[in-house]
Amino acid sequence: MSEGNSGVSPQDNPPSFIPSGTRKRRPSGQVPRPSAAGEAVPGAGPQAGVPSRRQTSAGAQGAQSMPAAQDVIPSFTPNSSRRVSRSTRRSASEQDARLQPVSPMQDAASAARRQPRRAAGSTHTISNQPRPGEGAGAQSMFASAQRQGPQSPDGYGMPAAQGGGRGMSGRPAATAMRRKRPVGRIVASVLAALLVVIMLVTFGLWNWVDGHLDKQPWLSDKANTSGTSWLILGSDQRTGEEAKTITGFRTDTILVLTKPNSGTRSLISIPRDSLVQVNGTYMKINAVAQLSGEKALVQQVETITGQKIDHVAQIKFNGLKDVVDALGGVDLCYDQTVNDALSNLNWTAGCHTADGATALAFSRMRYSDPKGDFGRAERQRQVIGAIAKKAMSGKTLTNIPKLNKTLKAALASITVDSKTNPYTLAQMVFAFRDATSDNGISGSVYWTNPGYNVSGVGSSVLLDDAKNLELFRELASGSHKPGAVGTLANQ
């Protein structure tokens, strides 16, 4: 050892350093410098006793004869004056390290600086108490560092990046964003593919249903009126082998379904024996389709209601049986016990689940009903409503085999006008369901004489034309209140 150490061993006064995890931050502003070259700055932090990075080679050589722990003045340069890149500082540090003798404590300080640094958010807290041997200057510097805020982990006085979680680059957050983007793209791709599949299935189903519809030019040239009106016809026309032996047909079910632009849906029956005049000839309305065609029947209904018939759907009775069987039966109620040989209806008073044959007999029976044809019209509306309710239920719509079977049975037994498509059919089914619910409107038209006799025609129902026109105006505008309507409703 040189005598210049004045008998004090470097091991007695080791250079002050702080491990990287608890290193004090350099205070902002001008750092006080020692008044004498031989005095060490108290509490100078991890650089105390370590040669300055800005020492020249000559200074480094002269420092070999100086105490490493006491006589070397740490270098502090304000943040704003540093323009040297980090790589340049590393080169200067490496040159100084080759020229300066390294004491054991310096080697320990260097090793501490090379330790991995804690990421932001570490639970390690920095004590605000000075270490033994540190004076008021260290406390002042520590307080200034606290006021200055977080510094970059490299110790060069640059502010640490906020929110990144690791230095100035914020790489963990950026990595998380990059990690989320592929997930978002995958979800978007799956949704897009699902949308395409739904569109293709819908398009295919639309074409399949529309291609199986039997369309006929039944609509008249009457001007459009408010709302949408469907004419629903039930025909006893036979098909297959029965058509060879039983010719002709009658339209025994005539229903007008009205859907206003806003308001309550309605389903109104027109009695099969209603008296009408076609081309100067009186006849019952159920014979018009056979004698003059369905278009003439549409025109007669428009005369009774005063409304434009927008769509027509005619269902064969045997087809009704097949639809009910495809649905697995429908729930029907009747408060009388019936054993009717003409309709083959055997019914115990109450509510039951009816199969196709029973539902058909239920809708055709009239001679055992005290209300006659008017009672039959009520039961027909009940059957139609029960079919619509069952067809639109979640259990049916989610049961693909049942839905497919029901569609095939319905399409095989239905004939529609030329403007009907799958969308208008769906609208019709929904309107049926709403009209036959507790909040709908149902009943029959008004009449003045249910037993009006006409020569060559027989007992007929004489309708009240004025009341019926007023009724359908209210139904089409949506101004009529829910409930039962017609002559029977007022009796």
Average pLDDT, the chain: 75
Q: Which of 17-21, 32-36, 257-261, 487-491 has the highest mean pLDDT?
A: 257-261
Local confidence band at 359 (pLDDT 50, 70, 90 cut-offs): very high
Residues 319-358 pLDDT 10s: 889 999 999 999 999 999 999 999 999 999 999 999 999 9
User: pLDDT by residue (tens digit) across 45-65?
Assistant: 444 444 444 444 444 444 444
Backbone angles phi, psi at 378, to 5 degrees: -65, -45
Contacts of 486 (CB under 8 A, 6+ apart): 268, 269, 443, 444, 445, 446
DSSP for 6-53, written as a single string: TT--TTTSPPP---GGGPPPPPSSPPPPPSSTTPPPTT-GGGTTS--T
Cα 41 to Cα 138: distance, rounded to the nearest angstrom: 9
User: So where are the chain's domains?
Assistant: 3-115+126-160, 207-490
CATH code matching the domain that covers 207-490, chosen among 3.40.50.11900, 3.90.850.10, 3.90.1150.10, 3.40.630.190: 3.40.630.190
Residue 203 pLDDT greater than 50, yes or no: yes
Task: Output the pLDDT for position 14.
Answer: 52
The predicted structure's pLDDT at residue 312: 97
Entry pTM: 0.61
Q: CA 245, CA 242: separation in Å to the nearest integer?
A: 5
